[in-house]
Amino acid sequence: MKKRKLGKSNLEVPAIGLGCMGMSFGYGPAVDKQEGISLIRAAVERGVTFFDTAEVYGPYTNEELVGEALAPLREQVVIATKFGFAPDPNGGPRWSALNSRPEHIKEAAEGSLKRLKTDVIDLFYQHRVDPNVPIEDVAGAVKELIQQGKVKHFGLSEAGIKTIRRAHKVQPVTALQSEYSLWFREPEAEVIPTLEELGIGFVPFSPLGKGFLTGKISEDTQFDKSDFRNIVPRFTPENRKANQALVDLVGTFAQQKKATPAQIALAWLLAQKPWIVPIPGTTKLHRLEENIGAVDVKLSPEDLRELGTAASKIAVQGARYPEELQKMVGR
């Protein structure tokens, strides 16, 4: 697997990581624990050694899964996790309850270290910007954890450019994690130029549009009742029907390149900047292997121009989050 560096940091990771959330939470029932462990270890065998989790996934169960799977392979891998929500131990994540107070960040770090069965977190992201806590205090708390040797790198998730700049002055930000794909290109306007200027890496989540860009979801697809996509405006049947035009475009390119739609979508992202590292999630080995194959798909400058221009002419229908979650991004 080819390697990439996240911005100007010395954090080197494979060109494609593995988002682990869906194994425990978000896209239907959790996978069987042993199956999850097998998949994570299979990823390491194939050179995917960058894993993304968070305390709120489950809550807690996803970190436990990742920790158990990677404990024997700890020296070979980079583990990223996140703090900043206040998970409810009884009823799953409370997406409205943000808590990035410095004392809570330190408590969250101790919990994550324990569940991940490790003595250091490679990359510790603030999961969402907490409007009640100055970002300087957040960065300062992570800086202390770095000085104590409990964390190696500081990251932000879904933060706006002013917040990124303020945080970076206190403790250099290694990576920003936000949604970015052919069907959500908003980061191109301000976020990507800011990251480039400051030397910060970019870790796009949902690089396959929460599965939509694979071409395996249609207006008739029924999601499990626990699937987060049921409440996402972009995934209403009528919006899926309207957004099929983008999938068809990607599919046409895939046929020309003898690749799959997922591979084209990931190859497009990888070609945008050398410091972009997407983290597609999956629960299936054949999908993991398909995603890894994107690294070898060659898109010429002409291909990229053609695909980017054609995609930008298709107006994607529907917001990417329900209203209450949309308020938490870009702060």
Active site residues: 57
Q: Which two tokens stand for residue 55?
A: 């305390």
Given a contact cutoff of 8 angstroms between Cβ atoms, the answer to whether 214 and 294 are in contact is no
183: nearest Cα among 11, 308, 42, 83:
308
Half-sphere exposure in the Cβ direction for 165 (13 Å, CA): 9
Given a contact cutoff of 8 angstroms between Cβ atoms, the answer to whether 60 and 115 are in contact is yes
| Phi, psi dihedrals of residue 329, rounded to the nearest 5° | -105, 150
Handedness of CA 230, 231, 232, 235 (dihedral sign): positive
3-class secondary structure, 186: helix
Distance CA 102, CA 94 (A): 19
Residue in the block written with tokens 């992570």: 142
Q: How many residues does the chain have?
A: 331
Question: Which pairing describes strands 50-52 and 18-19: parallel, antiparallel, or unpaired?
Answer: parallel
Given a contact cutoff of 8 angstroms between Cβ atoms, the answer to whether 250 and 215 are in contact is yes
Given a contact cutoff of 8 angstroms between Cβ atoms, the answer to whether 154 and 163 are in contact is no
The alpha-carbon radius of gyration of the chain (Å, integer) is 19
256: nearest Cα among 269, 267, 240:
267
Q: Is the peptide bond before 59 cis (omega within 30 degrees of 0)?
A: yes
Looking at the DSSP bridge assignments, the partners of residue 203 are: 177
Given a contact cutoff of 8 angstroms between Cβ atoms, the answer to whether 30 and 24 are in contact is yes
